[in-house]
Amino acid sequence: MPTDPPADCSGNLVEVERVCKSVSDSSGLLQILQDIDLRLGVRESAAIVGTSGSGKSTLLSIIAGLDTPTRGTVRLEGQDLFALNEDERAALRAQKIGFVFQSFQLLGKLTALENVMLPLELAGRRDARHAAAEMLARVGLGQRLGHYPKVLSGGEQQRVALARAFVVEPALLLADEPTGSLDIATGEQVMQLMFDLNRERGTTLVLVTHDRAIAARCERRITIEAGRVVA
C-alpha cells in the first residue's frame, strides 16, 4: 500500500516534471510527449486541448499513473507515482482519483446502483449502498437505481459514470472527451453537471476535449502540439 505522501506546501495537487514518452514502431522511435512541465492546483480546473495525435490522452494516462513515462516525474499530493509499484499506484488511484471516459466504461452486468457502489465496496465502505444511492439521486437518477446500462440512454450512462467518479470524493477527477459519445444538448447537460459536482466537492478537474466551449469553461487551457505544451 502507498505510504502517506510528504506534505506539499506549494498548493499544487499535481506536479508533472520533464515528462517524456516514446514508443518504438516499425519506422523507429516515436516521440509522443516531450519535456512536459505543468502544475495543477487544488480545486483548479484545466482543459488539455490539441489536435488528434498530439499526446493529450497519453498525458492524462500518465497523470493517472495508468501509463508509464519514458522519463520524468509525476507527483500527486507530493507522492511520486512512479516510485510506487503497479499495485500501490492502483491503491492510490482508488483513494484519490475519479475517471470519466467517452465510452462510459460501465459494467453491463451491474445495475446503475451496483456500478456506483463498486469503488466504495472495493474500498471497504460499509455505507456503499446508501452513499451510491444518494449520489445517483444527486445526478438525477434516483428512480433508475435498478436499471442496467443497456436500458439507459447515453446521457444517463454518463451520469452514472459521473456518480461513480464523484462518490469516492476524489482529490482529482480526470475526464477524457466526456461528451464525445453524446449529442450536443445532452453533452451540455452532462458538462453542467460535471462542473457543478466539481465545484461542490472541491475537486481538481483535468479534462481532455476538442470542444472549445467546454475548454473555455475551465480556469486554464493547456495546449499540446506534437507532444509539447505550447500554451
CATH number assigned to the domain comprising residue 32 = 3.40.50.300
Residue 198 is assigned to a structural domain of this protein:
yes
pTM, 2 dp: 0.87
Per-residue pLDDT tens digits for 137-151: 999 999 999 999 999
Among residues 192, 198, 219, 111, which one has the least CA distance to residue 157?
111
Comparing CA positions, the residue from 97, 88, 65 lying closest to residue 175 is 97
pLDDT per residue over 81-108, tens digit each?
999 999 999 999 999 999 998 888 999 9
| Average confidence (pLDDT) over 34-62 | 93
pLDDT of 51 over the 80 cut: yes
DSSP conformational letter for 177: S
Overall domain count for the chain: 1
Within a domain: 141: yes
* Distance of alpha carbon 23 from alpha carbon 38, whole angstroms: 22
Q: Is residue 5 a part of any domain in this protein?
A: no
Q: Which residue has the cell 499544487?
A: 12
Inside any domain, residue 158: yes
- Inside any domain, residue 27: yes
What is the domain range of residue 204? 12-229
Average of per-residue pLDDT across 169-184:
91
2 part of a folded domain? no
Structural domain contains residue 3: no
